[in-house]
């Protein structure tokens, strides 16, 4: 770019950022005022950076408060399973012990001494064991020898999960239906699939979709319906502290997108 016949460039990068708002002739920048100009530019950019960081923090808070899911897949790092369970338990116990120390709890007390290890084992072996694909329940399909071609509905399946935004419990009931495409599955396996996807930090919308998509794949049919009705402790014990509300989410595919089939299913689970 040319200004008054003199070659010009934007100001040098300051912390990786160009000042695109104002370009100055290279001839007008002396070693003395160049240093001053860079300093002034830094001062101008600093509030913008702070605002950006503040906005990012506010956006993250909004995601948590509004229980927003970012994808159907559970967010996991590529190296999520490089550590074995024993190592994970050991590391979590160390960090949880530090949390308790920061809170001011006396870890020499008999009641608290074993808490870090108990919490770590609970996380890895129980309430978050659904994170590990190795714990996915095996499924076996059976031929539909009865020729049954109507809705199969399994309702009031109890489940417990944890809100991924606050790490407090979600608990409720799942209602599942499918129409056989030539194969059937043991009823207990429907319960185990719900439990597997629930035992991880979750958002209810994602949990609903994960169960629905897995059932479609497992059963070899598009005709699947899932409804979850759950209470969220992040709503009842903090924030708005609403003790009575529940959240309902649904997944419908295939024939369940038809009004008659969907209405039949909803009548059964009322």
Categorise residue 171: left if φ over 0, alpha if ψ from -120 to 50, beta otherwise. Answer: beta
**Catalytic option among 166, 175, 210, 214:** 166
Read off the tokens for 263: 């209405």
Is 270 labeled as catalytic in the residue annotation? Answer: no
| Catalytic-role residue among 37, 67, 162, 165 | 165
160 is catalytic: no
Q: Among 202, 204, 210, 214, which one carries the catalytic annotation?
A: 204
Q: Is 154 a catalytic residue?
A: no
Kindly name the residue from 37, 202, 214, 234 that is annotated as catalytic.
234
* Among 37, 162, 163, 175, the one annotated catalytic: 163
Catalytic residue among 37, 67, 164, 214: 164
Is 67 considered catalytic here? Answer: no
Q: Check 67, 162, 175, 232 and give the catalytic one.
A: 232
Q: What is the 3-state secondary structure (H, E, C) of the chain?
A: CEECCEEEECCCCECCECCCCCCEEHHHCCHHHHHHHHHHHHHHHHHHHHHHHHHHHHHHHHHHHCCCCCCCCCCCCCCCCCCCHHHHHHHHHHHHHHHHHHCCCCCCCHHHHCHHHHHHHHHHHHHCHHHCHHHCCCCCEEECCCCCCCEEEEEEEEEEEEECCCCCEEEEEEEEEEECCCEEECHHHHHHHHHHHHCCEECHHHHHHHHHHHHHHHHCCCCEEEEEEEEEHHHHCCCCCCCCCCEEEEEECHHHHCHHHHHHHHHHHC
- Is 18 a catalytic site residue? no
List, by residue number, the catalytic residues. Answer: 163-166, 204, 232, 234
């Amino acid at each position: 770019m040319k200004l008054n016949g003199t070659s010009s460039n934007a100001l040098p990068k300051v912390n990786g950022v160009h000042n695109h708002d104002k370009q100055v002739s290279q001839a007008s920048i002396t070693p003395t005022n160049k240093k001053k100009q860079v300093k002034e530019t830094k001062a101008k950019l600093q509030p913008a950076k702070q605002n950006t960081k503040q906005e990012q923090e506010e956006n993250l808070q909004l995601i948590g408060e509004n229980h927003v899911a970012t994808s159907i897949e559970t967010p996991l790092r590529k190296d999520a399973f490089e550590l074995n369970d024993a190592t994970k338990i050991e590391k979590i116990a160390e960090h949880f012990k530090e949390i308790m120390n920061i809170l001011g709890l006396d870890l020499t007390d008999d009641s608290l001494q074993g808490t870090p290890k108990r919490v770590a084992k609970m996380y890895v072996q129980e309430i978050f064991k659904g994170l590990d694909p190795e714990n996915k329940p095996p499924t076996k399909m059976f031929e539909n020898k009865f020729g049954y071609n109507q809705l199969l509905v399994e309702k009031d399946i109890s489940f417990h999960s944890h809100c991924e935004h606050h790490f407090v419990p979600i608990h409720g009931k799942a209602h599942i239906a499918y129409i056989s495409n030539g194969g059937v599955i043991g009823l207990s396996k429907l319960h185990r699939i719900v439990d597997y996807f629930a035992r991880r930090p979750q958002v209810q919308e994602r949990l609903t979709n994960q169960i629905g998509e897995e059932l479609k794949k497992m059963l070899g049919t598009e005709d699947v319906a899932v409804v979850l009705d759950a209470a969220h402790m992040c709503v009842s014990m903090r924030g708005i502290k609403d003790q009575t509300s529940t959240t309902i989410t649904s997944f419908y595919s295939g024939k369940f997108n038809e009004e008659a089939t969907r209405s039949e299913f909803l009548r059964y689970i009322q």
